[in-house]
């Protein structure tokens, strides 16, 4: 799919899916999802982002139009014969626990990501949740990125640990949730888990704790960040991808990565994610403005001041 736009400052590779999701609030069928969709939409508020992913010929035109609405560079989006990846899940009452009902890889099963020439010198790379061999394939094609982040999930820790460790060794930051951090490291406390994960190679480990916020670990420091308190959550799907996408967008727009910039990027990532979970799919992000993000970021910072 060719869309002639400027070379992206941030490249995101991840899943693009059609989801069916039931939360305690509502059930929605066949809605746009996938880690790359959430991450690219979130990043687009801050930087020029390019998407790498695959869809089938059944992928709705309205969803491509939505990507264009976010001004996502689609040069790396492939359309191949077959059905788009599909996933369905159900959330328990507290929305903390989620059960996967079905995963149909479809066109994902034979996907080999190819970076368009214009993406290869992108300084920022986000390897969103996708099979680790595909993440490695992308790392092999990019030309000395300034900052690379990888996200993962339990499935890959269970089924592709060696490949996942090979990815982790080559990136600057690993992001994962609390239980995945314990699972991958084999350590019980988060501090020990983070230290073990840092020793695998990355400079930073970012542990996501859902509605309890996130923690950034580096060799020298720990930064604790709460989550923006919300009155209503409709669908937490993709919150981590939205958070990481927003964070990477802010870093790419700053062009540098130091600890103050990372902390600021975490604030913006959380704020965009807080909007995202107020509705299903990309529905809330679609109407979101930078002014609304700034207003909420200001309130959020006030809440954290001591």
Tell me if 130 sits within 8 A of 14, measured CB to CB: yes
Residue 105 Cα distances to 34, 109, 134, 158, angstroms: 12, 5, 14, 17
Residue 74 Cα distances to 111, 157, 159, 181, 286, angstroms: 16, 30, 30, 32, 17
**Shortest separation between residue 121's beta carbon and ligand AMP, angstroms:** 26
**What does the CA dihedral 264, 76, 158, 85 come to, rounded to 10 degrees?**
110
Q: Which of 202, 55, 47, 76 is nearest to 142 (CA)?
A: 76
56 lies in the site for ligand AMP, by CB under 6 A: no
Name beta bridge partners: 53: 77
19 lies in the site for ligand AMP, by CB under 6 A: yes
Backbone φ and ψ of 17, nearest 5°: -140, 165
The SS3 call for residue 211 is helix
135 lies in the site for ligand AMP, by CB under 6 A: no
120: CB partners within 8 A, 6+ apart: 141, 142, 143
Rank residues 103 and 141 by Cβ distance to ligand AMP and give the closer one.
Answer: 103
Q: Hey, which residues between 223 and 242 contact ligand AMP (CB under 6 A)?
A: 237-238, 240-241
Q: Which listed residue (9, 20, 23, 35) binds ligand AMP by CB under 6 A? A: 35
Q: Which listed residue (15, 23, 48, 106) binds ligand AMP by CB under 6 A? A: 15
**Shortest separation between residue 302's beta carbon and ligand AMP, angstroms:** 28
**Shortest separation between residue 301's beta carbon and ligand AMP, angstroms:** 25
Backbone φ and ψ of 67, nearest 5°: -60, -40
Residue 91: CB atoms within 10 A of its CB come to 19
Stretch of 13-21, 110-118, 210-218, 220-228 lying at the interface with ligand AMP (CB under 6 A) = 13-21
**Shortest separation between residue 243's beta carbon and ligand AMP, angstroms:** 9
Rank residues 123 and 132 by Cβ distance to ligand AMP and give the closer one.
Answer: 132
Q: Hey, which residues between 80 and 99 contact ligand AMP (CB under 6 A)?
A: 87
Name beta bridge partners: 208: 177, 214
Count the residues of the shown chain that bind ligand AMP, applying the rule CB under 6 A: 15
**Shortest separation between residue 34's beta carbon and ligand AMP, angstroms:** 4
103 lies in the site for ligand AMP, by CB under 6 A: yes
Rank residues 87 and 147 by Cβ distance to ligand AMP and give the closer one.
Answer: 87
Q: Hey, which residues between 246 and 265 contact ligand AMP (CB under 6 A)?
A: none
Stretch of 11-19, 46-54, 69-77, 158-166 lying at the interface with ligand AMP (CB under 6 A) = 11-19
Distance CA 192, CA 208 (A): 16
Q: Which listed residue (155, 191, 222, 303) binds ligand AMP by CB under 6 A? A: 155
Stretch of 12-20, 59-67, 180-188, 284-292 lying at the interface with ligand AMP (CB under 6 A) = 12-20
Backbone φ and ψ of 2, nearest 5°: -105, 125
236: CB partners within 8 A, 6+ apart: 23, 91, 95, 98, 210, 277
245 lies in the site for ligand AMP, by CB under 6 A: no
Provide the binding-site residues for ligand AMP, judged by CB under 6 A.
15, 17, 19, 33-35, 87, 103, 129-130, 155, 237-238, 240-241
């Amino acid at each position: 799919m060719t869309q002639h736009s400027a070379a992206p400052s941030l490249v995101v590779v991840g899943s693009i899916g059609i989801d069916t999701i039931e939360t305690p609030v509502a059930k929605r069928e066949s809605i746009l999802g996938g880690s790359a969709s959430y991450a690219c939409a979130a990043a687009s508020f801050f930087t020029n982002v390019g998407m790498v992913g695959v869809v089938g010929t059944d992928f709705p035109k309205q969803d491509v139009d939505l990507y264009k609405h976010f001004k996502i560079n689609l040069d790396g989006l492939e359309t191949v014969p077959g059905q788009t990846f599909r996933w369905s899940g159900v959330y328990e009452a507290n929305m903390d626990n989620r059960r996967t009902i079905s995963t149909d890889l479809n066109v994902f099963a034979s996907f080999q990501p190819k970076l368009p020439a214009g993406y290869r010198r992108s300084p920022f790379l986000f390897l969103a949740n996708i099979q680790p061999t595909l993440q490695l394939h992308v790392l092999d094609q990019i030309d000395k990125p300034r900052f690379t982040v990888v996200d993962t999930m339990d499935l890959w820790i269970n089924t592709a640990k060696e490949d996942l460790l090979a990815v982790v060794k080559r990136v600057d930051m690993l992001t994962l949730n609390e239980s995945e951090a314990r699972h991958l490291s084999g350590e019980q406390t988060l501090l020990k888990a983070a230290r073990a994960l840092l020793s695998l190679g990355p400079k930073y480990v970012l542990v996501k704790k859902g509605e309890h916020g996130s923690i950034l670990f580096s060799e020298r420091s720990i930064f604790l960040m709460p989550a923006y308190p919300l009155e209503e959550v409709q669908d937490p799907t993709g919150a981590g991808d939205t958070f990481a996408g927003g964070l990477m967008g802010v870093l790419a727009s700053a062009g540098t990565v130091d600890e103050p910039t990372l902390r600021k990027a975490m604030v913006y990532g959380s704020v965009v994610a807080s909007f995202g979970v107020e509705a299903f799919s990309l529905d809330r992000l679609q109407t979101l403005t930078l002014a609304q993000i700034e207003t909420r970021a200001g309130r959020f910072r006030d809440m954290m001041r001591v």
